[in-house]
Amino acid sequence: MNELLLIVTVGGSRVALPAAAVESVVELDTLIPVPRAPAHVAGLSALRSRVLTVIDCMQSLELGATDCTNGIREAAVVEVDGHHYALIVDVVEDVVEALSDPSAVRAAMGAGWERVSKGMVETEEGPLLLIDIEKLIAGTATEARAA
């Protein structure tokens, strides 16, 4: 497997996003709340005249909410079904090559991680959990049913 992966940290855990799905990495400084949006939708922001729906990855993974009141937050910008999203992460680290196809995870990770997991991939940085971006954006099953 020669897929490139973007290593990010969410909730203190290093995980991988498919780099081909990531348009850019940005720092968000403005966040407009959206009334009645699901809890994992942190708000809206703008990037180069595009509106981004900002996803709180911590909230989507059921790990608590990210404090977005204290200024700039790092985010990976992705496009899914013609819509642009900014995925708030703790830290964006590096781009590495996957050395294996995803394999089954053999440990309990918690409901949020299990929901978004595509499996473990080997990299030069060690094994990383590969995240399904669409499932991360969708949020929890409870929120999906309520929407």
Can you tell me which residue has the tokens 């700039």?
Answer: 72
Domain limits, the chain: 4-146
Give the pLDDT confidence score for residue 141 in this predicted structure. Answer: 61
Tell me how far apart the alpha carbons of residues 122 and 102 are, in angstroms, rounded to a whole number.
8
pLDDT by 10s per residue, the chain, length 147: 679 999 999 999 999 999 999 999 999 988 999 999 999 999 999 988 889 999 999 999 999 988 877 777 899 999 999 999 999 999 999 999 999 999 998 888 889 999 999 999 999 999 999 999 999 999 986 554 444
At the fourth CATH level, which superfamily is domain 4-146? CheA-289, Domain 4 (2.40.50.180)
pTM score, whole prediction: 0.90
Query: What is the Cα–Cα distance from 118 to 84, expressed in whole angstroms?
Result: 21
Cα–chain center distance at 48: 21
pLDDT (0 to 100) of residue 110: 87
**Structural contact between residues 60 and 116, judged by C-beta atoms closer than 8 angstroms:** yes
C-alpha triplet 41, 146, 107: angle, nearest 5°: 70
